[in-house]
Amino acid sequence: MLGNFTYANPTKLYFGENALDNLKAELAQVGPNVVLVYGGGSIKKNGIYEAVLGILRECGKRVAEISGVMPNPTIAKVREGIEIARAHEADFLLAVGGGSVCDYTKAVAASVHEEEDPWEKYFVRFEEPSKPVVPLGCVLTLAGTGSEMNGGSVITNAETKEKVGKVFADTSVFPRFAVLNPRFTMTLPHYQMVAGIYDIFNHICEQYFSGTDDSTSDYLSEGLMRSVIHSSRIANRDPQNYEARSNIMWSATWALNTLVACGKSTDWMVHMLGQGLGGVTNATHGMTLAAVSLPYYRHILPYGLAKFRRFAVNVWNVNPEGKTDEEIAKEGLAAMEAWMRELGLVMNITELGATPDMLEKLADVTIILKGGYKTLTRDEVIEIFKESL
Ligand code: NZQ
Ligand code: ZN
């Protein structure tokens, strides 16, 4: 394990079919004014809204609501939520939904007591909160982002088309607790389920494809990737399979709660390309990653050949006998591509609304990071988007 690192994670997890039973005890520890935050209405259709509201009432909370948090939440919506939380003198924010609702709630929580506009402070200058953060908790309904146990908050500026992730180091922005009931994810449309699965897988890849040392984090990553591949195949055929869906949900949390990043430089370039695309097209996050991944990985393969070879053998069971390292590495990516097609992921950016005349704009809003095997140039960013059309 190279490098020095600190690992701290304050989020308490309640997992399983009875996980929501713990909400009452958690709410007993917070003040009376609670803001319930949710998305476009899926929780009203599947009964989760009623169940959560019932518990809030039992606990005697005064409840205000922020509803209509959209996928890829916007900074305009964050500003609206800050006003609601201020007017309600919020003691606690309860996010009920997917990554978008959870990310959004963090942005509001970190801004209620700040005077400055959150876009400039958090998403341009990447500062930490300077005033107390309103505590928050999460009832998760979509397995994918890992937002339930991290400090990430990804917000879109619809005017400039920038989609930017702020990873809060301040652990008071992490959810205090997360309720993870795999049954709550069972009403997801297939499209969202597989987008979430690819998001999980790619989070692990982003941390795995960096560094060169013998790292425990890489062995953990390989185990998580194998579990995701295994369970995703079952869930793809049989979405109501509890065991598969529960393993996917648990893997999602561990894929992005900073554990497998320990000792790693981490890459995150697929996410930067995906966020660039998401900012311009507003497409579903996991699909934006799927659409750009293979052109990116094929592009950087020569620079990280040893790791791509290891990925092929340890994750995809490629038989290395009689093959060059390059052949083995390429066979690994071919196996990954076959799995992605099996799940029905979107494999090109055209299907997500991108057109050739958007290439320059896509490059403009894509942040280039340096942690992976090759630091891209702007021309390479354009090239990868072109190959993804
Ligand atoms: O809005 P509602 O009506 O709830 O519908 C949502 C939404 O349309 C629906 N949905 C969620 N749970 C459901 C359900 N439909 C039926 N049954 C359920 N149980 O699914 C749609 C997508 O929801 P969303 O929350 O947008 O999806 P996801 O969890 O994939 O979150 C995506 C956002 O998280 C960010 C992404 O960039 C994107 O903005 N990310 C956050 C990260 C973090 N905090 O660390 C890291 C990730 O890489 C990612 O960037
Ligand atoms: Zn992601």
pLDDT digits (tens, 9 = 90+) for 108-141: 999 999 999 999 999 999 999 999 999 999 999 9
pLDDT in tens, 172-229: 999 999 999 999 999 999 999 999 999 999 999 999 999 999 999 999 999 999 999 9
Both structure tokens of 121: 């402070």
Both structure tokens of 183: 């049954």
pLDDT of residue 14: 98
Same domain flag for 124 and 204: no
pLDDT of residue 31: 98
Ligand 1 pocket check: which of 67, 141, 184 to mutate, most ligand atoms within 8 Å of Cβ? 141
Same domain flag for 180 and 290: no
- Answer yes or no: is the C-beta of 247 below 6 A from any ligand 1 atom: no
80: CA distance to ligand 2 center in Å? 25
- Answer yes or no: is the C-beta of 152 below 6 A from any ligand 1 atom: yes
Same domain flag for 170 and 195: no
In the chain (389 residues long), the average pLDDT of successive 10-residue segments reads 90 98 98 98 97 98 98 98 98 98 98 97 98 98 98 97 96 98 98 98 98 95 98 98 98 97 97 97 98 98 98 98 98 98 98 97 96 98 98
**Inside any domain, residue 3:** no
pLDDT of residue 3: 83
Same domain flag for 203 and 287: yes
Q: Is 358 helix (H, G, I), strand (E, B) or coil?
A: helix
Atom of ligand 1 nearest to the CA of 155: 39
Length of the chain, in residues:
389
75: CA distance to ligand 1 center in Å? 16
**Inside any domain, residue 347:** yes
pLDDT of residue 2: 86
Same domain flag for 130 and 216: no
Cβ-based burial of 65 (10 A; exposed 0-12, middle 13-18, buried ≥19): middle
Same domain flag for 174 and 200: no
Distance CA 303, CA 93 (A): 45
Looking at this protein, which amino acid is placed at residue 132? Answer: P
Same domain flag for 157 and 210: no
Distance CA 29, CA 20 (A): 16
Half-sphere exposure at residue 101, Cβ-oriented, CA atoms within 13 angstroms: 28
196: CA distance to ligand 1 center in Å? 8
Atom of ligand 1 nearest to the CA of 103: 44
pLDDT of residue 367: 96
Domain span at 98: 12-185
Could you say which of 185, 210, 240 is where a domain stops? 185
Atom of ligand 1 nearest to the CA of 143: 29
pTM: 0.98
Looking at this protein, which amino acid is placed at residue 234? Answer: I
